[in-house]
Structure 1
Amino acid sequence: MAVDTERVAQLTRELLIAIGEDPDRPGLRETPARVAEAAQELYAGVGADPREPLAKTIDVSQGPAPETVPTGAVLVRDIRFRSMCEHHLLPFTGRAHIAYLPGEKVVGLGTLARVLDIAAARPQVQERLGEQVADAIEQSLGARGVFVMLDADHDCLRTRGEKRADASTVTVAARGELATPPARAEMAAYVIIGVQNAATDAPNVQGRSE
């Protein structure tokens, strides 16, 4: 579903008037058009299916190198993301850590980030975002388990209301074999190791549970 940029620009002009501003002064004259252009990117995921990037898979059991079939979880850490809180239309940004236990299908590591990008590019709440990513991976790949941890900073918490500038929010969505308490603890430990490695400039792109 395409963003109606003309209408967004018109409504932005009305908003400026409603808060007592002059939309025709030099600093705001181009603001409606700029907001409309930004909306095309920020809300590009509205109506899109986060499972779409997962349509192209690799059948590891029948592929050219069946000996590479993972015996444990594949974990991609520190995927930066941004979304818009649906309660106040203010951004929240952070890092995602996504793991899955493959069945017979795997995907390129960058595909997991694209799933997240689609689900995040819409008015969202953090809890639902993680659940949507987990569902997409489980359903599309037939994964034996999925683990999605999101750690985000919310402008609606940092800049308004109680103004908790240092607060961050962590949510976890888990499926299948990675939903058990020991498995969740193991995946969380890999994430913590990644944070510690980042603090010492060590590489932390991918972890494996064997």
Structure 2
Amino acid sequence: MAALMRHGGLMKRPPSGAFAPLHPLPFATKAEKKKGIDKKQPPKINASQQSLAAKGFLRPYDPYTPPNDVNTKLDTIFEKVLGATEGDTNILNLAQKFDLCMACAKEFDRAIPNSVLHSIQTLNDVRNFYQTPVDNVTPLDKMRNMDLPENLHVQYEYHRFHPETDKLFKGQTAYNRESTLVTGLKYKDKYKGFIERQEWPFTS
């Protein structure tokens, strides 16, 4: 085949025997053009970090703290694998990119995830990735170790209403005729939900 279908776009096949990266052909919709989205340039590592920070909860990455000598270690790896330490050096050879990623993963005990790997094009991208700390603690859990104002109280183990166990108001809920469903796998065994039976005609 002259072209490969991948990630919803056409991919150029590199010449036989050459180590050349695959770049998607630019296909931008009208809505993306109005928003100023340029598909000719792949997203950079900074954009991925901003997107991850905006999500906040349940981050899929392991925590990571850059060592104090991270730049010295990176310079040693760059010099050994590519023979260069300039930040704007492009990583075009796929074999060298593989060796570089493997060396960094072994040195820092943190591999570049597949979702970010396509955006690593220069040595600056690698440096920015390993200089950026990753904290997977949710904002709610962070508040446990914070000095909160005296007039603020956080109930970390929240209470979920259930008519069989809450008898303060004879099992009557403030949200009448509404079910309490526990859909998350994490809390399904911890909190018990119930389905409010609808009757017709309504008696109250």
Q: Identify which of structures 1 and 2 has the higher relative contact order when contacts are C-alpha pairs closer than 8 Å and 6+ apart.
A: 1
Which structure shows the bigger proportion of residues in strand conformation?
1
**TM-score interval (norm. to shorter):** under 0.3
TM-score by length of 2: 0.22
| TM-score, normalised by the number of residues in structure 1 | 0.22
